[in-house]
A and B are shown apart, each in its own frame.
Chain A
């Protein structure tokens, strides 16, 4: 399972997804611009990513908590998500995401 991630400098790379992990953990472990201050508790908005539109619609919609917490992220766009709230599954093979200029 592959994830295509673009960092804040526009550099793209292909990451190996791990079924059952969160997208935050995969991006963070590969050194992408993810701060994840709260460690994945949906409590800090520093694992913010932009999800490519065609993939955004395929994801499980954000919970009320995530929508609220996104208010604390910087430069939020309609395709913004918190990557700690996205569980990676085989269905997301090919997922395309981009990290923002700043997490905090």
Chain B
């Protein structure tokens, strides 16, 4: 059953710009729902570089990606935005009344007069290793995530990678697998030490096999994997029988379904004007790294400015009969009340 919700603005992407848009919209009494494929807010800031310092946020000489996200979450708290996390914004269609309906892959439909796309480079998706013909096996024998452990019972499983996902699934799938083999390009791992220790125990007990190797080619038919060719550190190749292959090489950013939203794209970026940061389709805005216009700089601080202007324009669409009066948070008791400080 599709769950349908209505709001003023639906924001695609809960990175710093999507979060700050909640603030700018909130000052104008506009409610927002956010959709993000990641399981927590922050976008690239928390997914790619939570601990790396950022030096060019005005007024914050040094701030980490995680801290910036935490502070933005604190800043938007008074506005009670609704987050739809771990969901992909799948499709956008126009309702009969002119509003937009954004649907997600979790069967949620968010209806709003305004859509703000703040999706950065798109959505985070698993990296696909460069092995010829791997697409044909995907979701049949090759999986980039484990949804149900039971689906792997009695399988001959091959896992590739050296991070937490690779190690966690080696440990969790070993009890149900017929055989489980882990391959990695070196005998060292970037995963949590206790996971590495546990994996090595399983190897010592003969429950898991580990090889310093990489997968060169896949063998099978009709999407059913039968074996792979592995290449060891000495470049020697051998055939390894398996019927399930799980590569874990982290996430990358792809534009994804936004490409199908019917927007004017230039090199995978949404073309906007610089007064409203609206796309060529009225009611659909694009802010942050995902937009392009003459002079565009992909900086968080530029995205903040874009969010402020887009919010003003969104107000006129959401509240066509109301007058917008510009106010400062420093002096307006009305705004201070909304912020919960008056």
Interface residues of A (CB under 8 A from B): 35, 37-38, 41, 43-46, 67-69, 71-78, 100-104
The answer to whether A71 touches B162, judged by C-beta atoms less than 8 angstroms apart, is yes
B residues less than 8 Å from A43 (CB atoms): 48-49, 52
Q: Which residue of A68, A69, A75, A104 is within 8 Å of B214 (Cβ)?
A: A75
The answer to whether B49 touches A38, judged by C-beta atoms less than 8 angstroms apart, is yes
User: Shortest beta-carbon distance, A12 to chain B, in Å?
Assistant: 21
User: Shortest beta-carbon distance, A50 to chain B, in Å?
Assistant: 13
- B78 contacts the other chain (CB 8 A): no
- B252 contacts the other chain (CB 8 A): yes
User: Shortest beta-carbon distance, A103 to chain B, in Å?
Assistant: 8
With A37-B121, A67-B188, A101-B130 given, is the CB distance from A72 to B48 under 8 Å?
no
- B257 contacts the other chain (CB 8 A): no
- B189 contacts the other chain (CB 8 A): yes
29 interchain pairs, CB-CB under 8 A: A35-B252, A38-B44, A38-B49, A38-B52, A41-B52, A43-B48, A43-B52, A44-B250, A45-B250, A67-B186, A67-B188, A68-B190, A71-B185, A71-B189, A71-B190, A72-B163, A72-B249, A73-B249, A74-B127, A74-B130, A75-B129, A75-B214, A76-B185, A76-B214, A78-B233, A100-B130, A101-B130, A102-B130, A104-B253
A residues less than 8 Å from B249 (CB atoms): 71-74
**Closest A residue by C-beta to B166:** A71
The answer for the CA separation of A103 and B249 in the assembled complex, in Å, is 11
User: Shortest beta-carbon distance, A9 to chain B, in Å?
Assistant: 14
A residues less than 8 Å from B185 (CB atoms): 71, 76-77
Tell me if A's interface is mostly helix, strand, loop or mixed.
loop
Listed from nearest, the 3 A-B pairs whose CB atoms lie closest are A104-B252, A68-B190, A72-B250
User: Shortest beta-carbon distance, A18 to chain B, in Å?
Assistant: 20
B residues less than 8 Å from A103 (CB atoms): 252
Instruction: Name the interface residues of B126-168: CB closer than 8 Å to any CB of A.
Output: 127-130, 161-163
- B184 contacts the other chain (CB 8 A): yes
Interface residues on B, range: 20 to 34
Per-residue contact bits, chain B 171-198, to A (CB 8 Å; 1 contact, 0 not): 0000000000000111011100000000
Per-residue contact bits, chain B 46-61, to A (CB 8 Å; 1 contact, 0 not): 0011001000000000
B residues less than 8 Å from A73 (CB atoms): 249
The answer to whether B252 touches A37, judged by C-beta atoms less than 8 angstroms apart, is yes
With A43-B49, A45-B250, A75-B214 given, is the CB distance from A69 to B190 under 8 Å?
yes
18 more A-B residue pairs beyond the given contacts A71-B185, A103-B252, with a C-beta to C-beta distance below 8 A: A37-B253, A38-B49, A43-B48, A43-B49, A43-B52, A44-B48, A44-B250, A71-B184, A72-B127, A72-B249, A73-B249, A74-B129, A75-B130, A75-B214, A76-B185, A76-B214, A101-B130, A104-B127
User: Shortest beta-carbon distance, B189 to chain A, in Å?
Assistant: 7
The answer for the CA separation of A38 and B186 in the assembled complex, in Å, is 24
User: Shortest beta-carbon distance, B16 to chain A, in Å?
Assistant: 14
A residues less than 8 Å from B127 (CB atoms): 72, 74, 104
Per-residue contact bits, chain B 297-327, to A (CB 8 Å; 1 contact, 0 not): 0000000000000000000000000000000
Instruction: Name the interface residues of B8-50: CB closer than 8 Å to any CB of A.
Output: 44, 48-49
A residues less than 8 Å from B184 (CB atoms): 71
A residues less than 8 Å from B44 (CB atoms): 37-38
The answer for the CA separation of A75 and B184 in the assembled complex, in Å, is 11
**Closest B residue by C-beta to A75:** B130
The answer to whether B130 touches A71, judged by C-beta atoms less than 8 angstroms apart, is no
User: Shortest beta-carbon distance, A25 to chain B, in Å?
Assistant: 14
User: Shortest beta-carbon distance, A56 to chain B, in Å?
Assistant: 15
The answer for the CA separation of A22 and B327 in the assembled complex, in Å, is 45
A residues less than 8 Å from B189 (CB atoms): 71
B residues less than 8 Å from A35 (CB atoms): 252
The answer for the CA separation of A74 and B216 in the assembled complex, in Å, is 11
User: Shortest beta-carbon distance, A34 to chain B, in Å?
Assistant: 13
**Closest B residue by C-beta to A69:** B190
